[in-house]
Amino acid sequence: MPLLRNQIWGCLLGVLLGAVSALAQETPPNIVFIMADDLGYGDLGCYGQKQIQTPHLDQLAKEGTRFTDFYAGSTVCAPSRCVLMTGLHTGHAQIRGNAHEPLHDSLRAEDVTFPMLLQQHGYHCGMFGKWGLGPENSPGLPLKKGFDEFVGFLDQRHAHNYYPTYLIRGSSRFALNNVVPNEAESGAGVATEKGDYAQDIIANAALDYIRQNQSRPFFVYMPITLPHANNEARLAGMEIPDLGEYAARDWSPSEKGFAAMVTRADSDAGRVLALLKELQLQDRTLVIFASDNGPHKEGGHSPEFFDSNGPVRGIKRDMYDGGIRVPFIAAWPGHIPAGRVSSHVGYLGDLFATVCDLTHIPLPAGLDSISLLPELLGQTDRQKQHDFLYWEFYERGFCQAVRQGDWKYVSQNGKEELFNLADDIGETHDLSAQEPERLQTLQAIARREHVPHPNWIAKPAGKAKAKAADQKNAGQKNAR
């Protein structure tokens, strides 16, 4: 009898442990998405950077998967963030440029974001950093778009002042210990008295949020402003409290500041990763790092100095890959293969479908989003592929780009070009004359994917703008 009783209890215990194990496997993971601002494809050590130190993100790449052919939603910040949040490319999205106009810069009440779905399915969602998708008193506020907590900047111009007089918590302002004479209504400006560094406050708020919500599923969106320049500061636009290891370098002040900003972004990402390990959450948390677009040429910084765009051509505001191809790293111990490099072609708009797939939330119809989850898990045979990726842009006239497989179509500065990225990653050899049928195929995609929007009027580039842009691109390093 004792033996039989022990066997019965053993079976029951095994069933119970199996049920607990199955339940644990079904528990959706926490999600942390950290996004830098204007960080180039070549600005991290794991993407080839030689002069700027990024040890924490390089380690994240070793512990997870690094993507080589991943793209932003746009070549500037606001539309790229709109694509990320809504899963719609810029031919379909509500925000398609940096307009600085309240009605143009805001998501509408009817626009659905993936944090809204996460929130509806039991996640607590916190955002810390630069929003850019709805100013004060607009329908696009973070607390209306799926976030339970928010600390940071609503207006993107405000976000570029690292020593502002206020930040936003929830939907209300709170004062910082800085003085900004002639501060614009947006909060933009240059501080003359500096006490509180906004990035420190934002990073600390994110860490506090993780501590407070460690016992329930959470989503942390951390779109930091680093290393974007303060455009109002002109040649002194790299605002950073401490140049650190770069102080003694024989570089210009702007380049020292830029390098210090990149390393500080890496350090803050490292603080998040360390906290997850401290709280023993790393095995239950998917961590993703990316950038919103290519590297900038602002605040006295030159992308060529650090080879910020790596092997690709162009910078922010270009439709060449230097403007839209970005770092993308994902880690989730025990789930995402460590040390893997993926050439899967995806973009920020895919986060919507990925999150839904990960959390078993039905995906809304009509999105330009494909789940990356199979690729993340190393199940490449199950990964669906985009037939194409599409972008449009308005600041230099109406510009478009399409990537289909290895082929890339670019229409900007009054000309149309076709490149084979497999043979020509630097987009230096225009094959439009040699491949007229392929050119026509990609032109047709571009025409079809642009859905007119009253806030975004497509106008051809003027000759003067086209000539100036051509001269700028001619001076850039087109191939490595």
User: Where are the chain's structural domains?
Assistant: 28-386, 390-474
| Cβ within 8 Å of residue 215, ≥6 positions away | none
Q: Please identify, in words, the CATH class of the domain defined by 28-386.
A: alpha beta
**For the chain, which ranges sit under pLDDT 50?**
1-25, 462-480
Q: How high is the pLDDT of residue 480?
A: 37
CB burial readout 121-159, b (16+ within 10 A) else e: eebbbbbbbbbbbbbeebebbbebbbbbbbbbbbbbbbb
| DSSP secondary structure code for residue 218 in this structure | E
Measured CA to CA in angstroms, residue 281 lies from 57, 59, 215, 270, 460 at distances of 18, 17, 10, 14, 51
- The pLDDT tens digits of the residues spanning 97-139 come to 997 676 678 999 999 999 999 999 999 999 999 999 999 999 9
Residue whose pair of structure tokens reads 């109002």 in the numeric block: 232
Asked if residue 296 lies in contact with residue 303, where contact means CB atoms within 8 angstroms, the answer is: yes
Measured CA to CA in angstroms, residue 432 lies from 61, 409, 435 at distances of 37, 9, 5
**Candidates 3.30.565.10, 3.30.1240.10, 3.30.1120.10, 3.40.1160.10; CATH matching 390-474:** 3.30.1120.10
Q: How high is the pLDDT of residue 2?
A: 47
The whole-model pTM stands at: 0.91
Nearest C-alpha neighbor of 95 from the set 106, 87, 86: 106
Torsion, Cα 62 68 72 75, to 10 degrees, reads: 120
Q: Count the Cβ atoms, other than its own, within 10 Å of residue 321.
A: 27
Q: Is the peptide bond before 227 cis (omega within 30 degrees of 0)?
A: yes
Integer Cα distance of 187 and 208 in angstroms? 25
Asked if residue 158 lies in contact with residue 140, where contact means CB atoms within 8 angstroms, the answer is: no
- The pLDDT tens digits of the residues spanning 183-204 come to 888 889 999 999 999 999 999 9
Integer Cα distance of 258 and 423 in angstroms? 32
* Angle subtended by helix axes 198-212 and 253-278, to nearest 10: 10
Q: How high is the pLDDT of residue 232?
A: 86
